[in-house]
Structure 1
């Protein structure tokens, strides 16, 4: 099924007269060029660096080669700026003649990249941006995702909340696409189970003035609150929620990005907060123990989800390029090899759906003593329903 699907999609692009990037003309004795279009400045710098570190660690473990060929990195700062995305993507594909583009972090940047990916056929691997459309409405054979969608990490929490005895909840997020996609996933599963969403609160983006909303939540007295905020906004919300005295009486649930990378900043306010995400550095598996140890040795810090995204991108490339013996000229074979990758990832087993989205476990995590402890597998091998993928 997957073989015929990918062959059909590739044929459709070829039939449409799309000019593939310079990969088709590459000499297999030349280095493989990896174009990294990630944020290396600004708010998302740490995410871009973690993805890059994970990627380079994976390739280092392969002896610095992929499919027997040396690697050349071309790093370009996306600045998390959507308006520059088409120009930056074109520069990597047409100017630097990269073999693969890896990026971005920001979903708005991904939209601009995808337009160029469609025009050029450039092989693109998304190691973070969670916009649903990338592997749904805008899916294409030359685009893969090694991260997640907003829905995939939030949907499992809906059933978890119901199973915990919560029957009415309030949801709260920023009024922007990513937050609303995340909350919608939770609401879908929670209402399917029989729960009721008492109110959805939308906060103007990127405001972190939460006090009036917390007062409103206190007056509604829901069984629990589900939220999506991230970065500094996530820290502010969790701290304010605790300071308002709500945490003890109204459990706080969220997507994993509420607390990911923020444990130290959250301190005591984060204790007991439960989230769902496709990774935790405390996962008990041999693959994760080895990864955490190697990452700490290489970079002097614990890895996070973003580092795993980069690492799995590198391992995906390693497996696919080994299968095709480093040949990047046969595009159909290379896309087929990428599609059929099976990873024993630090996050657990991972394969790819026909829309090239990862099929992976989602874990229920609770902050205990300043760590994300894995409570359970919230959903085993969850596949995203990319029904609009009609390539």
Structure 2
């Protein structure tokens, strides 16, 4: 019997599935549901995370028990309204052992409503909503990415260390934006910093010019932002075009320059960010992963691929520890809670809320690359506020 890969709403998306070869399997079927945005504005992160997951599952071919892996891949289109229906189908119709997803925090909240406290293990490979490993934490919910608090909290201390006492904050008015600014404020104000203004724009407005003009008028020591994707590219370019680059330092959660540097070009030079990964990390695991990913897909991976890969690693390690037997769901959770995952970002374990305890790197854009200039926080654990585990 060969590994079986099942597709729903994703047949024409051209996934690389070279691992689906003819191999004899002796043990039970492991069903893995995947909920990622594979079309629409979040298709890039969704496909990247899926590719990372598939690469990890390909490595599982070498296991001794050789379970059949049955993948059910659903396209969420990054629409929160679809999440409960899709999650319910994976839980009740397909009876999956694991659900991996999503990229979008709104979709994650819809999935959690269905999957929380069920036997099926949910592994979040991107969405950073604090509630997932905070107030809505559950024994069966794990995250291999980050909480919204983690990348931004260390930057408050970095700003103070650089002598910045008056900082202007700006982001979109949605969960990730608000939570990112709040995390920065927490550490910055605790050290005596002053927030001169805090702007929350309607999502996904990219009308930045009036606010950039206000920044110039207020002349703070620095600016801290959370933007990602196309919005991040436009903000950085508008900031540069207004003549502020080089005069007022621009700081951000790492997603400001993650996957956006090519679009930002020269305008991004000197931007300082904090994130749990950087492409140039000189770790053996990172070097091996990057080459394996490039060989498989023809391009190098980003943070979304790393997080998807680590979701796959968590599944692989759990299956190996249990000799492929996932019939005891409590045993599955117990094993996962104790994992140490050798990630391309650096090894991490899970916190009490099942969020990665991980390094946060300080990065600066130099010659078009996110160059690691230091360690902003070592083994940073999200506080998991409201988690009752």
Task: State whether residues 360 and 380 of structure 1, in contact with CA within 8 Å, keep that contact through their aligned partners in structure 2.
Answer: yes
2: distance between equivalents of 1:110 and 1:273?
Answer: 30
Which residue of structure 2 aligns with residue 257 of structure 1?
255
TM-score w.r.t. length of structure 1: 0.91
Which residue of structure 2 aligns with residue 305 of structure 1?
303
For structure 1, the residue ranges without an aligned partner over 5 or more in a row are 1-27
2: distance between equivalents of 1:381 and 1:270?
Answer: 28
Render the CA deviation track for 1:60-106: whole Å, top value 9, x for unaligned.
12326596312121100011111111000011111122111100111
Could you tell me how far 1:168 is from its partner in structure 2? 0.6
1: distance between equivalents of 2:70 and 2:99?
Answer: 12
Task: State whether residues 66 and 318 of structure 1, in contact with CA within 8 Å, keep that contact through their aligned partners in structure 2.
Answer: no
2: distance between equivalents of 1:362 and 1:347?
Answer: 9
1: distance between equivalents of 2:171 and 2:43?
Answer: 23
1: distance between equivalents of 2:295 and 2:118?
Answer: 39
For structure 2, the residue ranges without an aligned partner over 5 or more in a row are 1-25
Task: State whether residues 210 and 240 of structure 1, in contact with CA within 8 Å, keep that contact through their aligned partners in structure 2.
Answer: yes
1: distance between equivalents of 2:33 and 2:116?
Answer: 17
Task: State whether residues 86 and 112 of structure 1, in contact with CA within 8 Å, keep that contact through their aligned partners in structure 2.
Answer: yes
Which residue of structure 1 aligns with residue 107 of structure 2?
109
Which residue of structure 2 aligns with residue 269 of structure 1?
267
What SS class does the counterpart of residue 361 from structure 1 fall into? strand
2:218 is equivalent to residue 220 of structure 1: yes
Counterpart selection for 1:369 from 364, 367, 370: 367
Task: State whether residues 117 and 139 of structure 2, in contact with CA within 8 Å, keep that contact through their aligned partners in structure 1.
Answer: no
Task: State whether residues 27 and 66 of structure 2, in contact with CA within 8 Å, keep that contact through their aligned partners in structure 1.
Answer: no
Render the CA deviation track for 1:206-249: whole Å, top value 9, x for unaligned.
11011100110001000000000111000000000000000110
After TM superposition, the structure 1 = structure 2 runs for residues 326-345 of structure 1, keeping only pairs within 5 Å, are 326-345=324-343
Which residue of structure 2 aligns with residue 91 of structure 1?
89
Instruction: Report how many aligned residue pairs link the two structures.
Output: 365
Task: State whether residues 67 and 324 of structure 1, in contact with CA within 8 Å, keep that contact through their aligned partners in structure 2.
Answer: no
Change (3 A) 1:67 1:51: farther
Which residue of structure 1 aligns with residue 32 of structure 2?
34
Change (3 A) 1:67 1:155: farther
Task: State whether residues 59 and 66 of structure 1, in contact with CA within 8 Å, keep that contact through their aligned partners in structure 2.
Answer: no
Render the CA deviation track for 1:138-192: whole Å, top value 9, x for unaligned.
0000110000011101001110111011111000001112101001101111111
Which residue of structure 1 aligns with residue 234 of structure 2?
236
Task: State whether residues 64 and 70 of structure 1, in contact with CA within 8 Å, keep that contact through their aligned partners in structure 2.
Answer: no
TM-score w.r.t. length of structure 2: 0.91
Change (3 A) 1:67 1:245: farther
1: distance between equivalents of 2:231 and 2:64?
Answer: 39
2: distance between equivalents of 1:66 and 1:156?
Answer: 42
Which residue of structure 2 aligns with residue 180 of structure 1?
178
What SS class does the counterpart of residue 35 from structure 1 fall into? strand
2: distance between equivalents of 1:280 and 1:361?
Answer: 11
Which residue of structure 2 aligns with residue 141 of structure 1?
139
Task: State whether residues 68 and 325 of structure 1, in contact with CA within 8 Å, keep that contact through their aligned partners in structure 2.
Answer: no
2: distance between equivalents of 1:319 and 1:328?
Answer: 12
Query: Which sits farther off after the overlay, 65-74 or 349-358?
Result: 65-74
2: distance between equivalents of 1:302 and 1:29?
Answer: 34
2:150 is equivalent to residue 166 of structure 1: no
User: Please, what is the CA RMSD of the aligned residues?
Assistant: 1.4
Counterpart selection for 1:193 from 186, 191, 194: 191
Which residue of structure 1 aligns with residue 149 of structure 2?
151
Change (3 A) 1:178 1:221: same
Could you tell me how far 1:387 is from its partner in structure 2? 3.0
What SS class does the counterpart of residue 33 from structure 1 fall into? strand
Task: State whether residues 56 and 311 of structure 1, in contact with CA within 8 Å, keep that contact through their aligned partners in structure 2.
Answer: yes
2:380 is equivalent to residue 382 of structure 1: yes
1: distance between equivalents of 2:198 and 2:368?
Answer: 29
Higher helix share: 1
Render the CA deviation track for 1:294-331: whole Å, top value 9, x for unaligned.
11111111111000001111111111111111111111
Higher relative contact order (CA 8 A, sep 6+): 1
